[in-house]
Structure 1
Amino acid sequence: MSASRPNRSSRPPGWGAPLRLVLRLAVMGIGLGVISGTALKLLAPHLADGTSSTTPPGQQPLERLSASQPLPSGIALGRFEPKTELTALSQKWAQLAARHKDLQASGYLLVLDDGRFAQLQADKALPAASSIKTPILLAGLEELDTGKLRWNEPLTLTKEVVGGGAGWMASKPVGSRFPFWEAATEMIRVSDNSATNLLIKRLGGKTALNARFQAMGLHATVINNWLPDLKGTNTTSSLDLAHSIAMVDTGEMLSPRARDLFRGVMGTSRTNTLLPLGMLMGLGGDSADPDSALLAHGVTVLNKTGDIGIAYADGGLIELPNGQRAVAAFMVKGPFNDPRSTGLIRAMAAEVARTLIGKPGGTAPAANR
């Protein structure tokens, strides 16, 4: 007869049950510690800057923002997008032009930050003179951006490209070589016509450049002859001049490095007696050095003029004292060397300064505050 198994209920009490209870409590404690530590780690940034879980997402009070939070991305570049016409300014330009029935005038202004604009026959094609050098510079830097030419690439002076008038390169022997950067700079700095022709040839010639201008949307900009083109066969418009500058500043064309080169070259221009001087006159000033005088008003103008006697032009980027940027361009065709032509451009530019900046010693217009 086999021995019967002992009854479990009859076993004497031991330490098994208390040990199991202790082990369970230890495991639970460790788990709670891990959970609490994780929660505290997640809440620590909010507790440090004074926020709590009750703050609605995305609605932290400004005074509680942590120093580690990212700052806004920066100032927008603006767009070439006209939105609101400055009617009074457009009408003022029309009144100024109407005083001279024998002059053909054109003007365009656009504030890149907010789309305010003014216009006077802005898309009318007129003799470009040297103002066409701005879109030529743009085309050259686009080639640089795509790697199709080098900044220091030598350009050879040939009889075909030697141009009279402004500049010094025409005085150099045929066969002389100039780096691309020097030709581009002298084209703007002293409006060198031979330097300009060097660029036209290097960029494929007149036909190729005209096709590129059309692709850029510069529909009135056409090169028909080498510079200086005293007969005024090369054309552009105030809208095209303003647009060619805006495409760079808004980032529509050129990389940041090429954009800096564009601004650097434009900043070398010596002639400042049209758009810059007109802006200064609108602020109640007058100076033999308008660029320096404008700095005292918080204004910088990067511009390129044109002058062939029968036609004058000036287009530039205007940096305003409130941080905004605008592009403006003016063109006038009239009798040879008629001072009314340059006077009209300065008068229209003066109205721009009065509209965008305000009266001398006064406050800026409400739209700019």
Structure 2
Amino acid sequence: MSSSRSSRQSSGWGRPMRLLLRLILMGVGLGVITGSLLKLAGPAFQRESLTLPPWLMLPGTTRATEAEAAKPTTKPKPTRRDLSLGLFQTKNELTALSDRWNQLAASEPDLTVSAFMLVLDDGRYAQLAPDTALPAASSIKTPILLVTLEEIDDDKLSWNEPLTLTKEVVGGGAGWMASKPLGSRFPTHEVATEMIRVSDNSATNLLIDRLGGKDALNARFIALGMSATVVNNWLPDLEGTNTTSARDLARSIALVDTGKALSIRSRDLFREVMGTSVTNTLLPRGLLRGLGGQQGEPDDSLMIKGYRVLNKTGDIGIAYADAGLIELPDGSRAVAAFLVKGPFNDPRSTELIRKLAAAMAPVLKPKPAVARKTPDAASINP
């Protein structure tokens, strides 16, 4: 009798306890799920990229959000850091400089000249037959470097991809790669650097071949807006069939420096490679002469004055060229390019480039900087 009563009592307490236990477990589970959802949705809600249904919004939240949305938006005034890196866009012609270039060219009537200069920061420019197509010589290697780095940005070429020396691409003249055995392999970064550093012609031909050949490369030049730049023969092209113009050469450099071509990383590679060029006797020497310096190495002497020139020359005897990016002491930048065609190995051709660059120097002198008051310690640490 007592045993039966005890069993009924145990059975009566067991059911509520089980129900209570289930409720507790369900509550814990819902809490975990809700916490996880809030953790995931919280940042999105703070960014206002997640809209909650009205029944979840706190009183007044919707009205406040709508009121904020109705407020007129005003853009903050741009600072100097927000400004563009510059544009390849002509605005105000420096007619005095253009006229001076015409006078210098007219003094050597049997020489054909193409010249162009543009200050990227403000659009001031000078020109002399800037679109005349002339033998490019090795100056065409700058646009080739640009296309090479574009291929790297597009994941169609690797900076360390090995390129194999073949009989077809071996070129005479400048450079050392032609002396290596056929079948030798060089990483792309070495090929591109030697193409600019010592103007290696075999290195250039390796890249022309890797970029799809002459026709494919010429199509890329056209797409970049350089219609006068054409590769017709392997380097060294002593006959001068490969052509370019002063405006095209300046454009190939400006597109990189203004951010219109190449990623930031490839832009840095472009500048690093261009900075390795060892020939500085044309544009840099002429610029230094125009700034009042005659002695010493142009690169070092210009650096002391606050200038730097990243340039690439060309020389095939019947034609000479030089084009580069010019960094000025105030931080602004300009591009300049010069090509001269004349009698074989005529020293007047190279001297004319130096004269043209020297005439350009006065307009590239920055205005004196305004002295600014240095804040005192109290204003810095109130």
What range describes the TM-score normalised by the shorter chain of this pair? Answer: 0.7 to 0.9
Tell whether 2:211 aligns with 1:199.
no
- The one-character-per-residue Cα deviations of 1:340-368 (angstroms, maximum 9, x if unpaired) are 1000000010111122217xxxx669xxx
- The one-character-per-residue Cα deviations of 1:260-287 (angstroms, maximum 9, x if unpaired) are 0000000000000000000000011123
Give the paired residue count: 297
- The one-character-per-residue Cα deviations of 1:172-203 (angstroms, maximum 9, x if unpaired) are 00000000000000000000000000000000
Tell whether 2:271 aligns with 1:271.
no
Report how far residue 76 of structure 1 moved.
Answer: 2.8
SS in 2 for 1:281: helix
- TM-score, scaled relative to structure 2: 0.75
CA distance in 1, matches of 2:287, 2:355: 9
Tell whether 2:128 aligns with 1:128.
no
CA distance in 2, matches of 1:75, 1:187: 34
Match of 2:263 in 1: 255
CA distance in 2, matches of 1:338, 1:72: 47
Match of 1:84 in 2: 92
* Residue from 320, 323, 333 that aligns with 1:312: 320
SS in 2 for 1:296: helix
Report how far residue 296 of structure 1 moved.
Answer: 1.0
SS in 1 for 2:202: helix
For the 8 Å contact 1:130–1:306, the answer to whether it is kept is: yes
CA distance in 2, matches of 1:333, 1:179: 35
Inter-CA distance 73–163: structure 2 relative to 1 (3 Å threshold): same
Match of 2:238 in 1: 230
Match of 2:154 in 1: 146
Match of 1:95 in 2: 103
Query: Which amino acid letter does the alignment assign opposite residue 245 of structure 2?
Result: S
CA distance in 2, matches of 1:273, 1:265: 18
CA distance in 1, matches of 2:157, 2:185: 15
CA distance in 1, matches of 2:97, 2:242: 29
Q: Could you list the runs of 5+ residues in structure 2 that have no partner in the other structure?
A: 1-72, 370-382
Query: Which amino acid letter does the alignment assign opposite residue 213 of structure 2?
Result: G
Identity %: 71
Report how far residue 72 of structure 1 moved.
Answer: 5.6
For the 8 Å contact 1:225–1:233, the answer to whether it is kept is: yes
Taking only aligned residues, the RMSD between alpha carbons, in angstroms, comes to: 2.0
Query: Within 5 A, what are the aligned runs for 1:51-66?
Result: none
* Residue from 163, 184, 203 that aligns with 1:155: 163
For the 8 Å contact 1:221–1:235, the answer to whether it is kept is: yes
Inter-CA distance 354–338: structure 2 relative to 1 (3 Å threshold): same
- TM-score, scaled relative to structure 1: 0.78
Match of 1:303 in 2: 311
- The one-character-per-residue Cα deviations of 1:237-296 (angstroms, maximum 9, x if unpaired) are 000000000000000000000000000000000000000000000011123410110011
- The one-character-per-residue Cα deviations of 1:104-133 (angstroms, maximum 9, x if unpaired) are 011000000000000000000000000000
Match of 2:249 in 1: 241
Give the ranges of 4+ consecutive aligned residues of structure 1 lying more than 3 Å apart after TM superposition. 69-75
Report how far residue 73 of structure 1 moved.
Answer: 3.6
Query: Which amino acid letter does the alignment assign opposite residue 186 of structure 1?
Result: E
Inter-CA distance 342–364: structure 2 relative to 1 (3 Å threshold): farther
SS in 2 for 1:284: coil
Inter-CA distance 70–129: structure 2 relative to 1 (3 Å threshold): closer
SS in 2 for 1:101: coil
* Residue from 317, 327, 338 that aligns with 1:330: 338
CA distance in 1, matches of 2:364, 2:267: 25
For the 8 Å contact 1:112–1:325, the answer to whether it is kept is: yes
Inter-CA distance 288–91: structure 2 relative to 1 (3 Å threshold): same
Tell whether 2:295 aligns with 1:287.
yes
CA distance in 1, matches of 2:184, 2:82: 46
Tell whether 2:329 aligns with 1:321.
yes
- The one-character-per-residue Cα deviations of 1:205-258 (angstroms, maximum 9, x if unpaired) are 000000110111100000000000000000000000000000000000000000
Tell whether 2:127 aligns with 1:119.
yes
For the 8 Å contact 1:356–1:364, the answer to whether it is kept is: no
